[in-house]
Amino acid sequence: MSQALFSALNAIGGILVFFMVLRLVLQAVGANYYNPICQGINRFTAPILAPTSRLLPDIGPVSLNVLVITLILQAVIAYGLALAFYGAALNPALIIAWSAISVFGMVLKVFFFALIIMIILSWVAPGARHPGAELVWQITEPVMAPVRRIMPELGGLDLSPIAVFILIQFVENGLVRPAAAALRMPAQLFFGV
């Protein structure tokens, strides 16, 4: 019973953190605010962000409010689960470090899966006007455009997604996973690793 409850609470916490990370990414890339999917994500996350919305400014394209609240939410969920199910009161500084690693890992996963969806859409439904397709393009284009300027095009074949995949894997395997391992991050409490 306790394992099932842990899994359910962990899944609910993971969904909350995922939507917060998605909102962070969508704001950072300047996605169309009026896209119905963006509107839904904004409505879902607004109650969590409302108490601190005027306290923390944006730093360039990154919403400091969304970032800080996402880190705190991830830390509170992980701390609560550890305390309730393992009886372990963890070091708060370590929880914050683990939360930062987790949120950064989730940001990488959002870009990774958005690239996969973009590639599939380019084969199946090129030029699709669906709000989801528009959102995927808006997430991937800020990452792809600089790489596309550097990479040569091979007869109309765009190799920039491959370069971005390699870059994401390099950052994940060279930075995120080693940092999680060095800090002995409990993977069952965090969502991005």
Q: Give the pLDDT band (50/70/90) at residue 179.
A: very high
Which residue in this structure is represented by tokens 């300047």? 30
Q: Give the pLDDT band (50/70/90) at residue 169.
A: very high
Please give the Cα distance from 63 to 82 (Å, whole number).
29
**How confident is the model over 125-139, as pLDDT tens digits?**
777 788 888 999 999
Residue 1 has pLDDT above 60, yes or no: no
Please give the Cα distance from 57 to 85 (Å, whole number).
36
Please give the Cα distance from 43 to 109 (Å, whole number).
23
Burial track 122-157 (b if 16+ CB lie within 10 A, e otherwise): eeeeeeeeebebbbbbbbbeebbeebbeebeeeeee
Higher pLDDT, 37 or 122: 37
Alpha helices in 61-91 (DSSP H): 64-81
For strand 62-63 and strand 58-59, is the pairing parallel, antiparallel, or unpaired?
antiparallel
Listed in sequence order, the residues at least 6 apart from 143 whose beta carbon sits closer than 8 Å to its beta carbon are: 111, 115, 164
pLDDT of 185 = 85
Strand partners, 58: 63
- In whole numbers, what is the pLDDT of the chain averaged over residues? 88
**How confident is the model over 141-162, as pLDDT tens digits?**
999 989 888 887 777 777 888 8
C-alpha torsion sign, points 137, 141, 143, 144: positive
Which residue in this structure is represented by tokens 């998605």? 22
Full domain range(s) for residue 55: 2-189
Number of domains in the chain: 1
DSSP class of 26: H
